[in-house]
Structure 1
Amino acid sequence: MALKRMVLEIGMGTDIRGQDSTKAAVRALRDALWHNALTVTHALGVDVDSMQVKVTIGVPRPQTVDKAQVLAVLPHGTGTVDCVEGGLEILNEAGTGGTLVAHAAAEVFLDLPEGGR
């Protein structure tokens, strides 16, 4: 058996006024996942909860993301979250607040026999 990447989904999320990295990250992952209906597990005859999802979040301050809240977005399978420096922060004119943009990549892996199914 070998882990094979089956899907790569990309999303973007924002916190318009609060600069909350976790809120933007959760929205980015939802954006990536909620525009798709993955049927690959059904096509391969494997349980949907056997998916292993690697989530990468890009935000200006990666250490401020609550990874547990991001993982809670996953509807199936198990996952990991890695936060890296990225995204975008646009400060208001006074420099006292602004908008935070997060990007998410969700890689879906399945443990399949060598040579495919």
Structure 2
Amino acid sequence: MTDRRVIIEMGMGNDLHGMDYQKAAARAIEDAIRHSTLPIFDSIGLDHAAMRVQVTVAVQAPDKIDCAALAAGLPRGHASVRAVKGGLNVPNPETGNTAVIATAAVEAFLPGQDGKWRLT
């Protein structure tokens, strides 16, 4: 039985003064999951542990992301995080600071539910 994606949410996070890619990525993930709820678990009696969570975060310096730490901070399911090049750095020429903007896609997958329940 193959997993099926049941939700995808996108988020954005930033660090305006510290140029901290990890902080921006964590905020992007939090932004994405804050927009979602999965009532299916309670509705059909499914354990949250059955869910696989796959996160992709994009920043200009993906090598500065601790993916394991971000995955450990996710509240449900079996999580994996990967960092890719993306996001945006916005320099401020007057101060020399750079704002870091990260984006995140959070996908939740469940084992196939064919024949286990039915919407009425």
Distance 2:59 2:116 in 1: 36
After superposition, the Cα gap between the structure-2 partners of 1:81 and 1:30, relative to the gap in structure 1 and judged at 3 Å, is same
Cα deviation, residue 107, structure 1: 0.5
Query: Which sits farther off after the overlay, 34-43 or 4-13?
Result: 34-43
2:56 is aligned with what amino acid?
T
Cα deviation, residue 65, structure 1: 0.5
Distance 2:104 2:115 in 1: 30
Structure number with greater Rg is 2
Runs (4+) of structure 1 exceeding 3 A deviation are: 113-117
Aligned to 2:60: 60
Aligned to 1:51: 51
TM-score by length of structure 2 reads 0.88
Deviations 1:39-68 (A, max 9, x none): 122233310121100000010011111112
After superposition, the Cα gap between the structure-2 partners of 1:39 and 1:113, relative to the gap in structure 1 and judged at 3 Å, is closer
Aligned to 2:81: 81
Gaps in structure 1 of 5+ consecutive residues: none
Aligned runs of 1:102-117 on 2, under 5 Å? 102-114=102-114, 117=117
Distance 1:116 1:58 in 2: 36
Distance 2:98 2:115 in 1: 50
1:112 is aligned with what amino acid?
G
Distance 2:6 2:19 in 1: 33
2:6 is aligned with what amino acid?
M
TM-score by length of structure 1 reads 0.90
Gaps in structure 2 of 5+ consecutive residues: none
- Percentage of pairs with the same residue: 38
Deviations 1:64-84 (A, max 9, x none): 111122112211111111111
Q: Would you say how many aligned residue pairs link Structure 1 and Structure 2?
A: 117
Distance 2:44 2:54 in 1: 20
Aligned to 1:6: 6
